[in-house]
Amino acid sequence: MGRGKIAIERIDNATNRQVTFSKRRGGLMKKARELAILCDADLALIVFSSTGRLYDFASSRGMEAILERYQEAKQEHCGVLNPTSEAKQQSPGQPQGR
């Protein structure tokens, strides 16, 4: 995009990489926020720049809550404890139905 097209591979030039990082990070954060609002999704985004700086975004329920929820979901996913819970995932307490 922009004036020219670029390949998706590590940018060698450090200056350029830094500039691109700032711009795309901003864009990604914006998109993340939009998705969370538009679709009422729970979302967490964590980014470490190559210089080690941390940037993050989390939807309204907060980062901690989402990370916890993630750990729980993962456990289920791997352990496959309740086939039932899977089957029910799409309708439960969400009246928004369809």
Q: Is 55 helix (H, G, I), strand (E, B) or coil?
A: strand
- Position 87, amino acid: A
Q: Which of 9, 10, 12, 20 binds DNA (CB under 7 A)?
A: 20
Size of the site for a second copy (CB under 8 A): 55
> Which residue in this structure is represented by tokens 């200056």?
15
Q: Which of 9, 10, 12, 28 binds DNA (CB under 7 A)?
A: 28
Q: Is 58 helix (H, G, I), strand (E, B) or coil?
A: strand
- Position 38, amino acid: L
Residue 9 sits in the site that holds a second copy (CB under 8 A): yes
Size of the site for DNA (CB under 7 A): 20
| Residue-level length of the chain | 98
Q: Which of 31, 60, 62, 75 binds a second copy (CB under 8 A)?
A: 31
State the Cα–Cα distance between residues 58 and 46, nearest whole angstrom: 9
Residues near DNA, by CB under 7 A: 1-6, 15-16, 18-20, 22-24, 26-28, 30-31, 98
